[in-house]
Amino acid sequence: MEILSEVGDPNVAVVYIGKTSKGNIVEFVESIPTYDPQEKWVLIVSSLNGCPVGCKMCDAGFFYKGRLDLDELMEQIEYPIARRWGGKPKTRKFKVQFARMGEPSFNMAVVEAMRLLGERYENFHPSLSTIAPIGTDKFFERLLELKKEMFPTNFQLQFSIHSTNPEQRDEIIPVRKWDFERIAEYGKAFYDEGGKKITLNFALARENEADASVIAEHFPKEYFLIKITPLNPTVSTLKNRLTNDVDLETGLPVKHKKFVDDLRRLGYDVIISVGDTRENLIGSNCGQYILRFLKERPELREAYTFARGFEFRVS
């Protein structure tokens, strides 16, 4: 891995822009959500070179050049390990999220990388965020087998929902994907007693529909939890005129407060995840992609500040 640029604060988060051994340009993130790397240390890696999906709030979908192979996945992980730790990560919880660039289920090497990491690091916690596209059944079969074999209690699986209206969800995530019934079926099979519940993620825009009764109809609270995240300031969010509904100071939704209240009344675990706002300025948050910003340089007052002086050439 050749590091071309890095952006951020090593006490909060750093985004690395690197060239892999195969010549692909990728972004990956080192994050310290607790500000104590010995307590929890998180890497967020890219699965593809670009992304063919084009979700309305995500900056990584403006090009697609193919899958990254196993070596290229591991390079994104081994570089920050060597840089910070000089060997194995000396942290209580070493988490790797396959969530930076690219839908991970399009790349079977992601499953191979998780197996390798589980064999290599006893403190490894796998995390995968997916839209579950149609045509990826073999990936999810292999993922389920691996989870049951190696990670019954510490695997964090997250499905991108964003709207409880299927038609609107199709606009936000403009590819064919599993419906709620299929996600629920797989999630129940994936769950293990004593393990993590399956996460249903809402990057909550004011424009999105969010109805707790739809969640209750499809997703049993014994197996699923709901995670609410802000709609992060991205180039795509600006272009598609989407509005964040989570107050970053109070950590509460504004328009969709009833959605959260109803979910909790129904007995669901609800996580409202508002991280350090400096991550927006760094460009390390979900949906952000520094190379997209450098290519288009829109007027985004609350994002990508750390990268504004870059003269990085984007092809």
Is 24 within 8 Å of 11 (Cβ atoms)?
no
Q: What are phi and psi of 157, to 5 degrees?
A: -105, 130
Angle, in degrees to the nearest 10, between helices 137-150 and 180-190: 20
Q: In this predicted structure, what is the pLDDT of residue 276?
A: 58
- The closest of 274, 244, 246 to 260, measured between CA atoms, is 246
Is 284 within 8 Å of 29 (Cβ atoms)?
yes
Helices (H), the chain: 70-85, 109-120, 137-150, 166-172, 180-190, 212-218, 235-239, 257-265, 278-282, 290-296
Residue 5: how many other CB atoms lie within 10 Å: 16
- Expressed as residue numbers, the domain containing 10 is 2-304
Residue-by-residue pLDDT tens, the chain, 315 positions? 888 888 888 888 888 888 899 988 888 999 988 889 999 999 999 999 888 888 887 777 677 888 999 999 999 999 999 999 998 999 999 999 998 889 999 999 999 999 999 999 999 999 999 999 999 999 999 999 999 999 999 999 999 999 999 999 999 999 999 999 999 999 999 999 999 999 999 988 889 999 999 999 999 999 999 998 887 767 777 777 878 777 777 778 888 889 999 999 999 999 887 765 666 666 566 666 566 556 656 565 565 565 556 665 555
Taking the C-alpha atoms of residue 168 and residue 174, their distance in angstroms, rounded to an integer, is 10
Residue 314 belongs to some domain of the structure: no
Q: In this predicted structure, what is the pLDDT of residue 309?
A: 63
Is 49 within 8 Å of 65 (Cβ atoms)?
yes
Q: In this predicted structure, what is the pLDDT of residue 287?
A: 64
Residue 309 belongs to some domain of the structure: no
Indicate the pTM of the whole model: 0.89
Residue 192 belongs to some domain of the structure: yes
Q: How far is CA 79 from CA 3, 171, 276, in A?
A: 9, 37, 24
Domain count across the chain: 1
Degrees to nearest 5, angle at CA 156 with 250 and 269: 45
Q: In this predicted structure, what is the pLDDT of residue 45?
A: 94
Residue 313 belongs to some domain of the structure: no
Q: In this predicted structure, what is the pLDDT of residue 223?
A: 97
Is 44 within 8 Å of 8 (Cβ atoms)?
no
Q: Which residues are CB-contacts of 247 (< 8 A; sequence separation ≥ 6)?
A: 253, 254
Q: In this predicted structure, what is the pLDDT of residue 51?
A: 84
Q: In this predicted structure, what is the pLDDT of residue 246?
A: 79
Residue 312 belongs to some domain of the structure: no
Q: In this predicted structure, what is the pLDDT of residue 288?
A: 61
Is 28 within 8 Å of 73 (Cβ atoms)?
no
Q: What is the CATH number of the domain that holds 82?
A: 3.20.20.70
Residue 32 belongs to some domain of the structure: yes
DSSP secondary structure string for all residues of 133-161: BTT-HHHHHHHHHHHHHH-TTT-EEEEE-
Which tokens go with 50?
């670009």
Residue 297 belongs to some domain of the structure: yes
Taking the C-alpha atoms of residue 192 and residue 149, their distance in angstroms, rounded to an integer, is 11
Residue 149 belongs to some domain of the structure: yes
Beta strands in 196-262 (DSSP E): 198-204, 224-230
